[in-house]
């Protein structure tokens, strides 16, 4: 039985798209549901293109609403791919160890409340770090705190702006997230995976 995945998005959905493309010819996992807190999230369009049921929360803080949808679609794994709100505690409790998030920096640095979008990359540049990257981690009750499953490193280059760094990190995200999901499908649950190939400048 393939691992059934719900992907939560708030915006562009490029990680969702990368995941859908990566799973196209992979029997081990399938995206069965796309959820969003925003009706205008472009990720909902990707769901439509791929013929996947999609739903916009009436109230994204209502755990019962989440659990009803997740159970209806027999979801095994929840993937937060650019989902900007907290997952309700009842959902964390019901799916503990089976919710993953991708973050556009090397956690535990540059994470936590308010650290999303370009702010993350601005903070990396301001710190003078020479390396950034992305992290996939298990989700718990706090933003960006759960155990790390995998990271991919990318260089910070001279002259980088938050935008150029974000674009380089996003490319790495598009490889890292599918790699973690495939490993989860093979293992039946999310597991740590070894350091994937580093991206080239
Ligand atoms: C990504 O950088 C992801 O790490 C972060 O939000 C961004 C979402 O991008 N959590 P997209 O919506 O997948 O294009």
In contact, 133 and 165? CB cutoff 8 Å: no
Distance of alpha carbon 183 from alpha carbon 137, whole angstroms: 13
Could you read off the pLDDT of 50-60 as tens digits, one per residue? 999 999 999 99
CA 12 to ligand 1 center in whole angstroms:
7
Quickly state the pLDDT bin for 201 (edges 50, 70, 90).
very low
- Tokens describing residue 196: 């994937």
Quickly state the pLDDT bin for 141 (edges 50, 70, 90).
confident
**Is residue 171 predicted with pLDDT exceeding 80?**
yes
Could you read off the pLDDT of 16-46 as tens digits, one per residue? 999 999 999 999 999 999 999 999 999 999 9
Between residues 120 and 199, which one has the greater pLDDT? 120
103 as an active site residue: the answer is yes
Catalytic residue among 103, 121, 137, 174: 103
Which atom of ligand 1 is nearest the CA belonging to 14? 14
Task: State the Cα torsion 54-82-149-97 to the nearest 10°.
Answer: -50
Could you read off the pLDDT of 61-107 as tens digits, one per residue? 999 999 999 999 999 999 999 999 999 999 999 999 999 999 999 99
Q: What is the mean pLDDT of the chain?
A: 95
Ligand 1 contact, 152 CB (< 6 A): no
Quickly state the pLDDT bin for 195 (edges 50, 70, 90).
low
Ligand 1 contact, 170 CB (< 6 A): yes
CB within 8 Å of 53: residues ≥ 6 apart: 32, 33, 34, 47, 73
């Amino acid at each position: 039985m393939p691992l059934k995945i719900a992907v939560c998005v708030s915006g562009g959905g490029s990680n969702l798209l990368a995941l859908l493309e990566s799973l196209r010819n992979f029997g081990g996992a399938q995206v069965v549901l796309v959820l969003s807190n925003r009706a205008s999230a472009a990720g909902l369009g990707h769901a439509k293109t791929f013929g996947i049921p999609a739903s916009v929360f009436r109230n994204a803080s209502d755990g019962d609403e989440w659990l009803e949808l997740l159970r209806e679609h027999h979801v095994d794994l929840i993937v937060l791919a650019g989902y900007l709100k907290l997952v309700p505690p009842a959902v964390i409790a019901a799916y503990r160890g089976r919710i993953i998030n991708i973050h556009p920096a090397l956690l535990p640095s540059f994470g936590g409340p308010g650290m999303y979008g370009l702010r993350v990359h601005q903070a990396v540049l301001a710190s003078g770090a020479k390396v950034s990257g992305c992290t996939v981690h298990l989700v718990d009750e706090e933003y960006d705190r759960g155990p790390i499953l995998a990271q991919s490193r990318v260089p910070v280059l001279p002259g980088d702006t938050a935008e150029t760094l974000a674009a380089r990190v996003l490319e790495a995200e598009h490889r890292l997230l599918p790699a973690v999901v495939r490993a989860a499908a093979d293992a039946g649950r999310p597991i740590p995976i070894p350091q994937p190939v580093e991206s080239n400048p």
